[in-house]
Chains A and B, each alone.
Chain A
């Protein structure tokens, strides 16, 4: 779980952060303005490719993607 958290956190930083904004496992990503709703699509595709899962569009909501911890919960749901 911790390894997954770091993988996702590092992806978010590399993909979306262009200054020295600190990102923790609980940092609000969508509501905090780090990831815009347009850019969520690449995060979803990254997760699907990385973990070989399919996340239904209706589950890929801004709420479900709003922090690294929440994203891990979502991914784990489809890993099972």
Chain B
């Protein structure tokens, strides 16, 4: 079919609708490497502006770490740029298997399989290991990639209220007649920064003979005493049947993901997961970079310790300034503004002050839960955070939200 004027008009109307609804996403061009200090062109064509980045998933500051960059260069030289093949034809190098073994050891699991991304891992894992005789019971706030994976799977699907263990138990009882039951959760929830109660979930899964799946993308490398993830924090290493995670956040920030867990389940993915079977895997330079990241993190906890310290400083600073944040101890720290326009205005003013942080509002979060999501990094120094706190205070004073309750902010700005 030709792309007629009528067809063009259909899409133009949809895109206009997105703009009218305030849902149109606009990219900002970063001209520097990803780091705490970046140079941004925004709006398009504007002169470059130096800002402090507090909205990247660069939790451990690995995105531009010199040793990681050097390792990726070496990997490019020794193993080339790409594989031009899927894994099972002629797309597997020694370093792919090396990385799988290193991830297995790092996470304390039985085996690991790489995927082009964690989105792909979550998209492929459920249909590879479950059938229509089984049931998936997921937390109602799991990541969009998990929801897509669930949709692709023939197993029955049910949900439990966010982090509500009583409700989860009711659902395990309700579906106790199924061949296999799989409980599905994020380790760290990306919008609120809270963690799944994995100790209680393991207990329930053992009681009802259910498998436990955890997406630890916002945890791998820094949550837990040695950064192994949410399962380390809750003392349940070795008890999670499937962990999916990404190399696009704390573990280097480039790309790629994996399924790690019980040997048989990983093998099922190797045989049946469609994003694994029908797509090239992670490119050699990125594999070499992630291997270096894991070497660095296995040798020392310095970076996750610094991140923990920075997070404590940041959370305390925001609370002392009189802002409302979501309670927790992860480096995802949402500053609650409740009103969508207020969140956008505060984000814009922070940018003017040299702080890059984005507003999130409905439908990304629930109605009336608009916020600025800040994300702290080991790449931040205290002077970065002090400058960002000063900016939040200045903008907070402008909108008269410092020291104000949720009710007072809503009364003034609406939901």
What is A's interface to B at a CB cutoff of 8 Å? 18, 36, 38-39, 41-42, 45-46, 49
Contact = CB atoms under 8 A, between A and B. Distances in A.
A39 B174 contact: no
B156 interface: yes
A38 B157 contact: yes
B159 A46 contact: no
Nearest to A49: B174
Contacts of B175: 45
Contacts of A41: 156-158
A39 B159 contact: yes
A45 B159 CA distance: 13
Contact of A38 (B158, B161, B171, B174): B158
Nearest to B174: A45
A4 B331 CA distance: 48
Contacts of A39: 158-159
A36 B171 CA distance: 16
Interface of B: 147, 150, 156-159, 161, 171, 174-175
B68 to A, nearest CB: 39
A38 B161 CA distance: 13
Nearest to B156: A41
B161 A18 contact: yes
B171 A42 contact: yes
Nearest to A43: B158
Contacts of A49: 174
Greatest chain B CB density within 10 A among A41, A46, A49 is at A41
Contacts of B174: 42, 45-46, 49
Contacts of A46: 174
Contacts of A18: 161
A33 B304 CA distance: 41
B133 to A, nearest CB: 14
A75 to B, nearest CB: 17
Contacts of B157: 38, 41
21 contacts: A18-B161, A36-B159, A38-B147, A38-B150, A38-B157, A38-B158, A38-B159, A39-B158, A39-B159, A41-B156, A41-B157, A41-B158, A42-B158, A42-B159, A42-B171, A42-B174, A45-B158, A45-B174, A45-B175, A46-B174, A49-B174
A42 B170 CA distance: 10
A36 B156 CA distance: 14
A77 to B, nearest CB: 22
B145 to A, nearest CB: 15
A65 B147 CA distance: 22
A44 to B, nearest CB: 10
B415 to A, nearest CB: 12
A36 B158 CA distance: 10
Contacts of B158: 38-39, 41-42, 45
Given A38-B159, A42-B174, A46-B174, 14 more contacts: A38-B147, A38-B150, A38-B157, A38-B158, A39-B158, A39-B159, A41-B157, A41-B158, A42-B158, A42-B159, A42-B171, A45-B158, A45-B175, A49-B174
